[in-house]
Amino acid sequence: MTGADIALIRALLAAHPSWGRTPLSEELWRRWNWRNAQGRLKDMGARTLLLKLEGAGHIRLPPCQRPSSNGLRNRRVPVAPVAPEPIRGALRDQQPLRVSLVTPGSDDARLFHGLLVHEHDLGHRNTVGENLRYLVRDRQGRPVACALFGSVAWKCAARDAFLGWDHATRERNL
């Protein structure tokens, strides 16, 4: 974000006092043509940006006009079923490990989210934008690790240069 970007947001807020947060975020992603890899406009990215700018004191957003339509935001996440005792022993005794891609809406997605919410030191609320989620299980099928890669990690110039990836190669490999 530049000072000019913040000035644009302030100007839009001043020029359209009747706008709520949704029209403001929609105007921003239209002007900036924020799109994901599938070409869809990045609405949640714009909303998250606005909240972060407000939190840092750069802008003042209008008050929320209605409760969130995202029913998932404030729901209680069930505790993930984990082994009652810690898994002990050498890694070689837990192998083979199985790494699986977590697909949205699956049982693994609910388990993954529950593990992050209840077992991670920082907890977990939600993710913004596209991401890849992996669940790792030991030889007995017990979950032993979660890996979450946000879209930011998908485009990393230093990594791409190290690997010798151009734009087309990165798109194909990720």
Q: Which two tokens stand for residue 174?
A: 């990720």
In a domain, 30, yes or no: yes
In a domain, 95, yes or no: yes
In a domain, 72, yes or no: no
| Number of domain units in the chain | 2
Q: Tell me how far the alpha carbon of residue 128 is from its chain's centroid.
A: 3
pLDDT tens digit sequence for 93-135 = 999 999 999 998 888 888 888 888 877 766 666 676 778 899 9
pTM reported for the whole predicted model: 0.48
Does pLDDT of 73 surpass 80?
no
How many residues appear in the chain?
174
| Closest CA relative to residue 45, chosen from 26, 62, 59 | 26
In a domain, 67, yes or no: no
> For residues 67 and 136, what is the distance between their CA atoms, to the nearest angstrom?
36
In a domain, 35, yes or no: yes
The predicted pLDDT at position 97 comes to: 94
In a domain, 37, yes or no: yes
In a domain, 144, yes or no: yes
Query: 95 with 51, same domain?
Result: no
Top mean pLDDT of 13-17, 75-79, 126-130, 156-160 is at 13-17
The predicted pLDDT at position 95 comes to: 93
In a domain, 162, yes or no: no
Q: Range of 146's domain? A: 91-154
pLDDT tens digit sequence for 13-72 = 999 988 888 888 888 888 888 887 777 777 778 888 888 888 888 999 888 877 665 555
